[in-house]
Structure 1
Amino acid sequence: MSNKEKKYTEQKEDLLDRLDRILEWIKACDTKSSVLLAGIGIAATVLTSDRFLSKENQLFKYFTKNLRFINFNFLYLAFFAFFILLILTGVILFVIELTPSLISRRNKNKETNSLYFFGTIHKKKLDEFKDEYKKKKNKSDIDDLLNQVYFNAKICQHKYMCATWGIRTTTIGILGVFIMFILGIIIVK
């Protein structure tokens, strides 16, 4: 094996390792968001059960009575609504994170002809794909892998940003709703 072939093999293995790591990070982020969405769904089911709804209705009636702009009742309801809005924002961020992101959007819709990306592979006929693969030169293969690593890293960063903010807003929202609910029960008694 020549030095050039050895260097190509090392570069390709390194890029494939990097791509695999990035794809694992994406998978872990998707799994985390899916589990958190399921947990939020379970919590929402419990909070909308008959037992909790009757307490929530009692609190709502109490705090809408004598409601004026900038009094305690108004502030209580405003904070309660704000925390609910934070939870909904978190849910939206989790859904955005889970929405598939195609490389063409990240590439400003520049046309790519990758033999690694399913979005371009599926457009080819089988024989066309085989021919292109067999004709692929080392340099173009490395360039293709570099593009895949780069664009998947951008996708991964976007997903982690959405998941991180989703976790933050949802956590603050859930804690806030819980505190407001307990505070409301104490005040009504």
Structure 2
Amino acid sequence: MTAAGLIVALVGTLVASAGLGMTGHMIGHMLAVAVAGPMLAIGLQPVLANRRLPGAIAAMLIELAIVWGWHMPAVRAATDMSLALMLVEQASFLAAGTLLWTAALRERVGGVAALLLTSMHMTLLGALIGLAPRRLYPMMAMHGGFGGLDALADQQLGGVVMLTLGGASYLMGGLWMLGTLLNERVRA
């Protein structure tokens, strides 16, 4: 699982930096935080078992700060001008996703809450980006729109990618963990 997670993270970084507009960039981000992150957390469980890490709610707050922080327009503009910053951004998304899922798998009740809250904030940020009546990230337009879309339509589709892939992965993970906990309690 760890090797697959690293491959997904690498593919996400390549997609995020490929000049595929806001939508391609967002697909790359979601591959790191919402797909590779949980895969790495599952694969690294034996290695991280004895490490002191933040609890699930603290990890959720760290992930929230990282995701929302990188989407502030001034930060996004600086990142769009620097490959090095984009690589730091992508690495921070991967680290935040891995940390959150690691904490959620350890602290299962708190993990359910953390994953469901993450689903909510990912959906909210995706909706804010997708429903914005103007371009929030003008520098992103220099990369061209995904599939020939104009800059605003590309931004809107990028927001939809975030709220569907990001929101859905955390929602499904949280509901799966909740179902597992409930099944264990019924059997006990």
Larger of the two Rg values belongs to structure: 1
Larger RCO (alpha carbons 8 Å, 6+ apart) = 1
TM-score grouping bracket, smaller chain normalisation: 0.3 to 0.5
TM-score (norm 1): 0.34
